[in-house]
Amino acid sequence: MTSGDRDRTGAAAPASRPTTSRSSAEGGHAGGTVGAVGMVIGSAMSLQFGSAVAATLFPRAGALGVVALRLVFSALLMLLVCRPRLRGHPRTDWAAVLGLGIALGTMNTLFYQAIDRIPLGPAVTLELLGPLVLSVVASRRLLSLLWAGLALAGVALLGSSGFGQLNFAGVGFALSAGVMWVAYIIFNSRTGARFPKADGLALAMGVAALVSAPLGVADAGSALLDPVTLGLGAAVAVLSSGVPYTLELFALRRLPAATFALLMSLMPVAAATAGFVVLGQRLEPLELVAIAMVIVASMGAVRTPPVRTEPRQVIG
């Protein structure tokens, strides 16, 4: 099968399409979209509650050790379930897997370093600036500057009310994780279009585990072999990697990337909820307003269409 035999979602294009009424087609499309939106929301809640549980493991194995446990268990689980085919893939397919794996490993390592130093809600809010900046730059509209200004105002307000309790290293790690979040979105979409089911994600998880495991072993050592730590690490792997990344992979096959990014803007809400329920991290009213400003800015930036460049007319 050549690349031309695939549609935008990555599924094989059928040779012929049955004739259906317009209403039934629209109903099926709407149902698929609603299901995909539900997948993204479920992914956000699972991911952030998994991150909150992971934070409780930091005293046992450290941030790098917990990342290693999470990604190694996730890789083993997904490779066992998916059993992806290794042969017959061109170099471009493997490049997408490699990019996604490196993005996953680096993003998780940086983010766990952040939540080891600052509360979960502000960490995810700062991480969200990565996709927000990408949307603003890609749009190239004056309105996008308004969204960027609103986001910066939200971050400044968050700083005035909460950065006194944060440290600069934690903020830096969160912002760096945001950069890798952009890479994750791009490579996840490419991988989902090139591999059936969750095969590409399973292979990328293996790459991410290879990236994080040496750092975790060097940092935590024998603490990683504690039975309680191993059990909780396996639970974190399911909540924070296996469930959310699989849901996102399937959602990206049904949703445009812009819609997916828009829904990702709700991630700080899930993070603040998980931080409060699991870790008892309370946010002040000003911090909640600041997070809301960043969320609105991100939604506005994604909803602002990019400038369309008219093709030049060739005369002669």
For residue range 91-133, what is the model confidence (pLDDT) as tens digits? Answer: 999 999 999 999 999 999 999 999 898 888 888 888 877 777 7
Read off the tokens for 252. 């990206």
pLDDT for 174: 92
Give the residue among 297, 180, 312, 191 at the shortest CA–CA distance from 253: 191
Q: What is the mean pLDDT of residues 57-72?
A: 92
For residue range 255-314, what is the model confidence (pLDDT) as tens digits? Answer: 776 677 667 777 778 888 888 888 888 877 877 887 788 778 777 766 766 656 554 444
Q: What percent of the chain has pLDDT over 90?
A: 23
Read off the tokens for 27. 């109903």
What are the residues whose beta carbons fall under 8 Å from the beta carbon of 157, sequence distance 6 or more?
286, 289, 290, 293
Q: How far apart are CA 96 and CA 162, in angstroms?
A: 38
- Specify whether the CB–CB gap between 13 and 5 falls below 8 A: yes
Average pLDDT, the chain: 78
pLDDT for 316: 41
Q: How far apart are CA 277 and CA 160, in angstroms?
A: 25
Domain boundaries, the chain: 40-303
pLDDT for 25: 43
Residue showing tokens 């935590």: 220
120-134, 169-183, 241-255 — most confident range:
169-183
Q: What is the mean pLDDT of residues 130-148?
A: 71
In terms of pTM, does the model score above 0.85? Answer: no
Task: Quickly state the pLDDT bin for 17 (edges 50, 70, 90).
Answer: very low
Between 81-95, 128-142, 167-181, 220-234, the lowest mean confidence (pLDDT) is in 128-142
Q: What percent of the chain has pLDDT over 70?
A: 77
What are the residues whose beta carbons fall under 8 Å from the beta carbon of 118, sequence distance 6 or more?
165, 166, 167, 170, 171, 174
Task: Quickly state the pLDDT bin for 150 (edges 50, 70, 90).
Answer: confident
Q: What is the mean pLDDT of residues 136-160?
A: 71
For residue range 28-61, what is the model confidence (pLDDT) as tens digits? Answer: 455 567 788 888 888 888 988 998 999 889 999 9
Q: What is the C-alpha end-to-end distance of the chain, expressed in Å?
A: 40
